[in-house]
Every structure is written in C-alpha cells, then in structure tokens.
Structure 1
Amino acid sequence: MKNRKDQCELIILETSDLHGNIFPINYGNNTETNSGIAKIATLINIEKKQADYTLLIDNGDVIQGTPLTYHFAKYLYEKKNPIISILNRLHYDAAVIGNHEFNYGLSLLYKSVDESAFPWLSANIIEEEKNKPAFGTPYFIKEFDNGLRIAVLGLTTHYIPNWENPSHIRGLKFEDVFETAKKWVKYIRENEEFDLLVVSYHGGFERDIASGEPTESLTSENQGYQICNEIEGIDVLLTGHQHRRIASHLNGITIVQPGFNGQVLGKVNLQFQLHNGKWNLISKSSELVEVNDITTAQSDLLELAKEYEKQTQEWLDQPIGKIIGDMSIEDTFAVRLADHPLIEFINKVQMDAAGVDISNTALFHNESPGFFENVTMRDIVSNYIYPNTLKVIRISGQDIKDALEKCATYFIMDEQKGIQVNPTFAEPKPQHYNYDMWEGIEYQLNIAKPVGSRVEKLTRNGLPLSLSEQYEVVMNNYRAGGGGDFDMFKEKPVIKEIQTDMTELLADYFLKRKAVEASCNHNWKVTW
C-alpha cells in the first residue's frame, strides 16, 4: 500500500517473555535453537521493509531468564545491560514492565530503564511516596509523518507481590489492572487525539477465549478476557505472561500473544483510509510469525553481547564438585511419583542453608537433566532455572496437609485407571513448578481418592504429624508468598530470609564439600 496518500498500512510487532534470550542456544548443552532476539530481529527487519509504518513493542519479561542475564546481573551489572543495548539497536518504540523485571532488584531495573532509548510503560505500578506511575508515563502516543496517531497504554499483572522478594518491590504498589485500564482508557479517549488505541498488557486470559469458561482460579493474575469484554474503546490488546501463542479476536478487539523465549513474533495488521482529514481504521487482523530453521541470527546483535556471552560460557563450565552415586534424571514424571536423589539433595541444601529440618521444592521443568558425576555451573542452572531465594515460614501441620492436598491435584486418573498430569498444570502454561516434594516428613498421596482427601499418610519421625502444632519450613520465596495458589502459606510469620540465590547456595554446597553422595530415604510416594 506504499505511496497511497489516502490509505496506509500499520504493522504492530510484539515481542513478549523473551526472558533474556539473545543467542539461539540451549545453555544446558549449547545446541542451536529456533529462539532468541537475534533471530527475531531478522523477522522484525523483514516486516519493517514491507510495511508503510511499524510500531515495535516489547510486552515484558525481557531482562531476566538466561544464564547470560543472571551472570550479567550478578557479576557485570556496572556495564551496560546487553539486552537493553539490543532493544535500542532495533529501535523499539516502547516496553512494558513484566513481573520478572523485578527478579534482580530495583537498582538493576531502574538502571536498565535509564539505559533505554524508549519509554517503559506500566500505568498500574505506582510509586507509593509520590502516588504516580513508577516508571514514567503510563501511555504514549506515536505520530507518524502522515499524521497517523497511535495511543499505547501499558499494564502489568498486579499479582507480583504474591511472588516477588519484598525488597525488590519496596516502595511500590500494584493497582488492579482492570480498574486501571478502565480509568486510563477513559482518560485517553477524553483527552487525546488518536486514530487507534492499543493496550499492551503483561498478563493473559483468565477464561477460554472461545467459550468463556474459566481456565484458572480467580486470582486476578490474568484479566485479558474481562478487559476485552467490559472496557470499550480498545482496538488492539497485546498480551503475554502465559507463554501462549494466540492470534485472534475477542469482542471486536484484535488480540495477540507471541509465546516465549523469542520463538515467535506477534504481528497485528492494520489498514487505514483517510476521510475528511482523519484516518479511519478499515480492517485489522493478527498473526504469529515463527522463527524456523532458515531464520538467521542478526550478527551485529550477537556482536553486542559477544563479550557477555564469552564470560557466561566460561562461568558455566567451571567445575564445582562431584556426585558419588546417581542424581541423573531419566523420566521427569517418575521423579514426581516417588522420592528421588536430586529432589532430596535440593531439599537438603535448603535445610542446611536455613537451619531447619522440613523443606519443600519442585522439579521446575521437564528438561531437568539432574546431576551426573562431574558437576559444573551449567548443570546447576540447567536444573534450577529460577533466581529464587529462600524463606523460613512458620506454619501449622494443617497447613502442611492442605499444601500436600494442593500438590496432589497435579495428578488425575485416566480411563485406564492409571494417572497422568492434570491438564491445568500443562495448559495454557506449563506449571510443573507448582508441584512440591517434601523432606523432613513422611507422606503418601493416593490419587485414586477424591480431590481434597488424597493424603492418606502424614507422619514426622514415624509419628502422626500434629495438625495443630507449628513447624518451621524452608521453601523458595515464590511459594512462601503463596505463589501457585498456595494460599495456606500467605502472610504466615517469616522466621528467616536467606537472600542468596539458590543457584549460588547449590554451588557453594558443592564447593565446600567437593563431593556429594546421592541419597534417597524414600520418605514419600504417590499411589493410585
């Protein structure tokens, strides 16, 4: 449609949940992947060459998620943030604050914002002292040379205080996304001149887009469905957070969500017609553009991060200890059915760091390889993929039982009287990290029994666990705050906080002992 003065095409390009992926590699084994911003950049440049006008937005969770970004945050933070340098090079128009932007603390986040050549948006994250948006403007308007004006409002899931280390969000309050969206959409419509209103929301959909059936518990973590159905005046809703691939419409609003880790580029096609001096939207659609085997990585972007990557790889290959025995994983499903040496080891490290004798942890993802004989930092970050810290909270025996019942919902019975993973833990976003396994107690989960009554054995040191007695338990900070709908842990007394990341605690445990023996006391199992 180029060179038509009375018509124009605008392409909105969205990345979301890049999670620090720059290089197209799997850091566990350094094999090439179809992912990362360097490959996505090739798709972005193709789209820019073909369209009259483009708007490029990152929808959040961009500065955290890979060993490179972790190593940068821990050891190279005085240098420029490589992921921000890349977004600047690609001329992003804006970025939205995601929940994982806070994982490395406010100092690094504000430094990243200051280095950015584009605005960061989040209308509902408020600086308490000044009672104003903490990251500058809640929205911006991009005007193109033909007079086309696009308004973009940014929002962030307000569920962050349920997950994040309190010191990382000190002085901030997180207002309800839906109410904030309603307020600011009304304000923009009444006070600004624009031709299209875009909402970029680091959050997803709480209901099935087609049927309207709830797809998650009513936590308000995701409010996209409600936004589309109850707020008038939005033309396009860019989403993320759930790591889904969506290109559709909902109540007349064009919606898109481009997966995660830079595997997909979200694209919204918009056609405008000039009438009486105003641009009218005449058509809109959305699609997903996937990275594939022939997509090349943009070499100048790799060069920007080359030195960071070199130092990361050297750090990952550092030998830190040995395993006597076997902590490797052949079947992740089997690991969640009965005590396994890797899970017992992680719980032991947590208990050692916290000075308590009850602990829980998860097998965070289905690509965990476990530990083989010679252990490096690469092995640690391949198994423990989140920058979690630890908390010791005081909870009752009843809380422990309730948490185990919650964990037992991870399984369902199939038609052949076997068990499988409950689909709600796999779709729309894998949540294997919300199934915990415990040390310091003995228990048995019987999946053949009804939900809520599956804990058929619960003892401590061979004696029935007192449901009224209080116990001090160590767990990661996400779980201790009630993350994953573990409401029984919310607002419980915090006895101790261990601010060292678990990856460092695991490495230090090896470095102090040189060799660690694989052990398994078989204190729990799942039956059916």
Structure 2
Amino acid sequence: MKTINYKCIYLTLLLLTTITGFAQKTVTIKILETSDVHGSIFPFDYINNRPAQSSLSQVYSYVKQERAKKDQNVLLFDNGDILQGQPTVYYSNFIDTTNQNIVSQVFNFMGYDAATLGNHDIEAGPKVYNKMRDELKFPWMAANAVNESDGKPYFLPYTTFQKEGVKIVVIGLITPGIPHWLPKVLWPDMRFESMLSTAKYWVDQIKKTEKPDIIIGLFHSGHDAKYGDQDPNDVMNENSSQTIAQKVPGFDVILIGHDHDELNKKFLNTNGDSVLILDPTSAARFISEATIKVNIDIKGKVLGKKITGKLIETKTIKPDSLFMDKFKDCTKNIETFVNRKIADFTESTSTQDSYFGSSSFIDFIHSSQLSISKADISFAAPLSYSTSIKKGPVYVRDMFKLYKFENFLYVMNLTGKEIDSYLEYSYSHWFNTMTSSDDHLIKFKLGKDQTLELRKDGKVQLDNNYYNFDSAAGIFYTVDVSKPEGDKVTITSMADGSPFDLNKTYRIATSSFRGNGGGGHLIQGCGIPADQLNSRLVHSTDKDIRYYLLKWIEAQKVVTPKSLNLWNVIPADWVKVATERDRDLMFGSKQE
C-alpha cells in the first residue's frame, strides 16, 4: 500500500504558485485625453478680456505629473476641435500664416502621442489643416474621412503603441455630419463615411494584422444618437460613439468629444464585454483619464485587464511655468491683435434680448449682412447664448462675441413660400404655443413629468439649440404664438413697404452653416433636397463673416446698434408677462 506524502504535494504546489506569481506582471497604461479645446491654450480668455479657469497650460502640468510616475505608461491624446474658438487659433490660422501654427507648436511641446480631427478643424480649411498635418510630430487621424480619388483615408486611420510588451491600437473617427454644416470648398478632396461601418471594418482589419492587446477609439463624436431629433439608426448619425461601443465588439475604451458633454460610463457590447466611454466636456475644463491594468504571463500573453476611468478637473491646477515661458511671445502677439480698437459703439447690446423679439444685437448682424451681400432678406440667429458688447470702444476681441464661428456669408435663392416655411420652421423650434399668459413663450425642455428640465447651472434647458433661432430682416412680419406650429408667421410686406410675393424668388443672406443644411431650416423647413442646396447658391464670400463684419464696422468708426423692429410677437399682453418670467428662468441675476 502506497502512502501519499501530503507535505511533498503541498510544497510542490506552493512552489508552482510562487513561480507562476513571479512569471506574471502587471503593466499599467494611463490614457489622458483632451477634446474640444477650442483654442483654450493659455489661461486667459481673450474674447472677454479676463483670466480663464482652464487651458492646455494646466493640462500640461497634470501630464508632467503623471509622466513622472515610473510605475505607469502614459499616452496623451487629443480628440479634435482645437482650431476654432479663442482668437489665439484664429490669429494663427488666418493672420500669422507663415509661422508654424500655434496648435502644432503646443501639441509637439506637450508631447501628444496621437490626435483625431474634429469638424471645426476641417472648418479652418485645407490650407490650415494640411499645413498642420505636416507640422505635427504624431499621427493625426480620421479613418472615415476618405480621399475621393482612391477611397483611402485622407488622414491616418489608426496608430499603434508598444508599452512593456502590451500592444495598443488607437482608431480615430470624425463625425460624418460635416457635409450638412460646411461648404465643399473646406473639404474639397474628401468624403465622410459612416462611423459605424468604418469602425467595424478597421477593428476587423486590426485584429487580423496587428493582433492588439488593447483597442482604443478616439472619436470626435458624441454619445447621444438621438440628439437634435436624429434617428439613432441613421448610419450617418453625427453622434455614433455609444452605438459603436455597443455594436462593435473589440473596443476596450472609447474617448469621445464633439458634444461638450461630461461622461464617465461603461456600456456592454454585443459580446457582453464592458466598454468605458469618457467625455471631457470642452475648453480643457476636464481631462479624460483611463487607467488600464494589464496582467501578462512570462510569454507575454494577456491574462486579464482591469479598466477604470475618471475625469480630472483642471481649474485647480496651476499653469506650467515652462509652458508659459515657451509661448510668451505668442501671447504678446495675440494681445496686440485682440486689443486693436476698430470703432465706438454708442449703445450696449446683448444677445439676451434676441430670444424675445426684435433686438439690436441680431438686427446689427442683419443690417451688416444685407449691406455686405446686397440681398433682399437676411436670416441670422444668436451664436452665443448670453454675451454682450458694451457701449464705448470696440476692439477686435469683441468681434468674437458678435460672431462666434468662421462661417462664410452665403447669398441664396428662395421663393417667398420657402421663406415663409423657413420662418415657420425656426419659430416652431423656438416658441411655445401659448393658450394664456400663464404659458411659457420660449419652448423649454420638459421631463417625463412635464416639469422644466434644468442645466447644471440651475437655469432652464431649451428644447432646441438657440443657434438655430433664426429671425429675418428685409421683411415685416408677425409671429402669433397663440396659433399652432406651421401657422404662426404672417409676412405683411417687404421692409421698404412693397408687397411680399409668395411666388417670387428672393435673394437671401445667411451663413454657410445654414446654407449647407445646418439646423434643418432649408431641408426640413423649406423642403429643399440636400443635394439641391448648392444649386440655390448665388455666391459666397471667400472669408468668414466675422472678417467682413469687422471691416464694415471699422469703416463706420461710430456705430449705433439698434433694433429694426421689423417683426413682433403677439398676443402682446401674453408675451409681455411670459417674457419677464422666461427671461428670469433663462438668465436669473445675470440679466443684461
């Protein structure tokens, strides 16, 4: 009879466990992401002439801190929309064009490892983004922006990294909604394909050819596929990041942007695996941080992964002194640029008035658009939720308040009937249908219990985007909010008193964003097919509207912003009561 030596077995198992334990190691990968920085490079708001709470100078302080930790491998990514926003980038894009772009200087200095383009980077135009691509010392990606000539990605589709035996692949995607917002002249050699199908294709290719341990998505696209009443099943949905996380197995982390939202959440894909999505809002206010701990054996095989995420707020982080010293000459140039006086305003003007009727702020834009374009009718909306230009000296920086984006000025042909439909569409998204003075004038977002939904700052949430609240000039009209949607607007005459004819074709002035279908006014409102919009275009400026506004104001030297009073909202007694109430809900103590 054999005797089992339990002590020997125990010692053998203990030895095997010890050897196995020593054979394994844990590799820590820390991913840091910025997105939608919009030119917030320095800790100063050059538009409002005051210190800013967040900037890339603060991001760099945190990045240096994390890179100094020897027990982790840090990768730094940006997710697009850096080339529009603060005057810093406008100056580098369009004024100081001979020197290296400030963004590529800063990104190279900070040691970014990869980046994806955003729609506002495309908006800067091919001269700017092609120059940037040549200047950057790391991959700039957008797998679904393809070259029309050969169908291959115009930018790089993905990039790879090796960290302590762990292979990481990062796939870049850009929102495909660009053709609805930007004229073809800004993306002349490319087309934009579905994010979902592109993600499926490249994940499959990468698994076969690269055999990665980790796949990361760097997507300039939001998470809410229903945003703006979009169809979540539309393959060209502008916010497909969550859809990809759930429907395309293989991703470990998806870093997103575009929507300026704040998100740190895991979602299950069709294989039952969790995918972390991080979204760091905008203007360098947060840094997305994903920590991936990878357990690998002695042969380099991955035994397991643990992934956690958090958002790092930057307002309490001090700007890096080396960063600020490195770019001090640039800040001086920006200060000189924005502080140049161009005219005097005899009155203050604010966008807050523009939500409740004819206002001096929007009517000033109308007047300038009509003067510059020689069109019959102008359409415009507030591009900043709440901003103002004060009475007195007006500087270049104030032009970024007056007009936020680098849109071109379009002149298009619309019939009188289409103009009426355009306005009906705008006001159906803007104004509520009132039954008494107890109702709201503004269409606010309601929750499931029909109570007002609030933003994070405690103010009410609009049901639709304010930058789509187009009013008109060049015509007299009324908006009757007691009538149903589609029947609120009555156009009485042209501004000069001549008849307005529903069957006549008029020349209208509007932004290139609107002229390419942005907001839906022309496509859903007027019923013009998207592929026919270009045939309505009479001409376009070759520079942005802000440039022409600046020149127009500069030529006048002294300007009096005033309301044209070409339209009004009725019933007047209801509107007066509702305006006071809604204005307080929207702006509270910050009313101007």
Cα pair distance change 1:468/1:216, threshold 3 Å: same
Distance 1:450 1:224, change over 3 A: farther
> CA shift at 1:191, angstroms?
2.1
Q: Is the 2:223–2:241 Cα contact (8 Å) retained in structure 1? A: yes
1:201 matched to 2:219:
yes
Q: Does 1:471 align with 2:506?
A: yes
1:494 corresponds to which residue?
A: 537
Q: 1:361 to 1:385 in 2, by over 3 A?
A: same
Q: 2:466 aligns with which of 425, 428, 432?
A: 432
Distance 1:102 1:428 in 2: 28
Match of 1:297 in 2: 319
| Counterpart residue number, 2:442 | 420
Highest Rg: 1 or 2?
2
Contact 1:391/1:498 (CA < 8 Å) preserved in 2?
yes
Partner of 2:229: 216
Q: Distance in 2 between matches of 1:458 and 1:147?
A: 73
Q: Does 1:519 align with 2:562?
A: yes
Residue identity in the other structure for 1:282 = K
The residue that corresponds to 1:405 in the other structure is 424
TM-superposed CA distance for 1:463, in Å, is 6.6
Instruction: Give the deviation of 1:101 after TM superposition.
Output: 0.9
SS of equivalent residue, structure 1 residue 471 = strand
Q: 1:340 aligns with which of 330, 342, 359?
A: 359
- Identity fraction in percent: 26
Measured after TM superposition, the shift of residue 75 of structure 1 is 1.8
2:146 paired residue number: 126
Report the CA distance between 1:161 and its aligned residue: 1.5
Which deviations, in whole Å up to 9, do the C-alpha atoms of 1:471-503 show, x marking residues without a partner? 110111111111122223643311111122222
Query: What one-letter code is carried by the residue in structure 2 that aligns with 1:248?
Result: K
Select between 451-460 and 223-232 the one with higher mean Cα deviation: 451-460
Is the Cα–Cα contact under 8 Å of residues 371 and 379 in structure 1 kept in the other structure? no
- Does residue 170 (structure 1) correspond to residue 188 (structure 2)? The answer is yes
Contact 1:270 1:281 in 2 (8 A): no
Alignment-derived partner of residue 269 in structure 1: 291
| Displacement after TM superposition at 1:388 (Å) | 1.6
- Three-state SS of the structure 2 residue aligned to 1:277 is coil
Structure 1 residues 366 and 214: alpha-carbon distance in aligned structure 2, compared to 1, 3 A threshold? closer
AA partner of residue 142 (structure 2): S
The yes-or-no answer on 1:509 pairing with 2:555 is no
Q: Which amino acid aligns with 1:193?
A: K
Partner residue in 1 for 2:369? 350
**Are the equivalent residues in 1 in contact too, given 2:433–2:484 (CA < 8 A)?**
no
Checking the alignment, whether the CA contact within 8 Å between 2:417 and 2:503 is kept in structure 1 is yes
Aligned-pair distance for 1:371? 4.6
Q: Which residue of 1 aligns with 2:276?
A: 254
After TM superposition, give the deviation of residue 225 of structure 1 in Å.
Answer: 2.8
- Structure 2: distance between partners of 1:423 and 1:26: 30
Residue equivalent to 1:454: 488
The residue aligned with 1:89 is 109
Map of 1:210 onto structure 2: none
Q: What is the CA distance between 1:4 and its match in structure 2? A: 10
Deviates more, 1:511-520 or 1:479-488: 511-520
Secondary structure of residue in 2 paired with 1:510:
helix
Q: Deviations over 1:398-431 (max 9, x none)?
A: 3222222222212346994123353399879983
2:311 is matched with which residue: 272, 288, 297?
Answer: 288
- Residue of 188, 193, 206 corresponding to 1:188: 206
Matched, 1:394 2:417: no
Change (3 A) 1:4 1:15: farther
- The corresponding residue for 1:158 is 176
Which of 443-452 and 358-367 deviates more?
443-452
Is it true that 1:147 corresponds to 2:165 in the alignment? yes
Q: Distance in 2 between matches of 1:321 and 1:176?
A: 47
Deviation at 1:266, TM superposition (A): 0.6
Larger mean CA deviation between 231-240 and 276-285 belongs to: 276-285
Going by fraction, where is helix more abundant, 1 or 2? 2
Return closer, same or farther for 1:115/1:395 CA change in 2, 3 Å cut-off.
Answer: same
Contact between 1:154 and 1:201, CA under 8 Å: does it hold in 2?
Answer: yes
Q: Provide the TM-score with structure 1 as the length reference.
A: 0.91
Structure 2 Cα separation of the partners of residues 393 and 469 of structure 1: 14
Equivalent residue pairs, number: 515
Shift of 1:520: 2.2
Q: Structure 1 residue 307 and structure 2 residue 342: aligned?
A: no
Cα deviation for residue 395 of structure 1 reads 1.3
Classify the secondary structure of the residue corresponding to 1:152.
strand
- Alignment deviations for residues 114-142 of structure 1 (CA, whole Å, 9 cap, x no partner): 1111001111111112321112x311110
1:481 equivalent in alignment to 2:495: no
1:175 maps to amino acid: E
Helix, strand or coil at the partner of 1:468: coil
**1:319 lines up with 2:338 in the alignment:** no
Q: Is the 8 A contact 1:206 1:223 kept in 2?
A: yes
* Partner secondary structure for residue 387 of structure 2: coil
SS in 1 for 2:229: coil
Provide the C-alpha distance between the structure 1 equivalents of 2:318 and 2:462, rounded to a whole number of angstroms: 29
Query: 1 CA distance for matches of 2:383 and 2:514?
Result: 12
SS of residue in 1 equivalent to 2:518: coil
Which whole-Å deviations, capped at 9, do the CAs of 1:416-463 have from their partners, x for residues lacking one?
Answer: 412335339987998322211211122223344433333245543457
> Take 1:327 and 1:438, find their aligned partners in 2: how far apart are those partners?
21
1:264–1:474: structure 2 CA closer, same or farther, 3 Å change rule? same
1:444 aligns with 2:444: no
What secondary structure, in the 3-state scheme, does the structure 2 residue paired with 1:222 have? coil
What is the one-letter code of the residue matched to 1:328? T
Mapped partners of 1:228, 1:29: distance in 2:
39
Q: In structure 2, what is the Cα distance between the partners aligned to 1:54 and 1:473? A: 52
Which 10-residue stretch deviates more, 464-473 or 294-303?
464-473
Written as runs of structure 1 = structure 2, the 5 A alignment for 1:6-21 is 6-21=25-40
C-alpha distance in 1, partners of 2:390/2:501? 35
* One-letter amino acid of the counterpart of residue 250, structure 1: F
Of the three residues 245, 250, 256, the one matched with 1:233 is 250
CA distance in 2 between partners of 1:265 and 1:233 (Å) = 24
Q: Which runs of 5+ in 1 are unaligned?
A: 208-212
Cα gap change, 1:418 to 1:367, in 2 (>3 Å): closer
Matched-pair contact (CA < 8 Å) for 1:151–1:197: yes
Separation of aligned partners in 2, 1:36 and 1:458: 50
* 2:363 equivalent to 1:328: no
With over 3 angstroms needed to count, the CA separation of the structure-2 counterparts of 1:4 and 1:359, relative to structure 1, is farther
Q: Answer whether contact 1:323 1:373 (CA < 8 A) is retained.
A: yes
Q: Please report how far the alpha carbon of residue 327 of structure 1 lies from its aligned counterpart in structure 2 after TM superposition.
A: 4.0
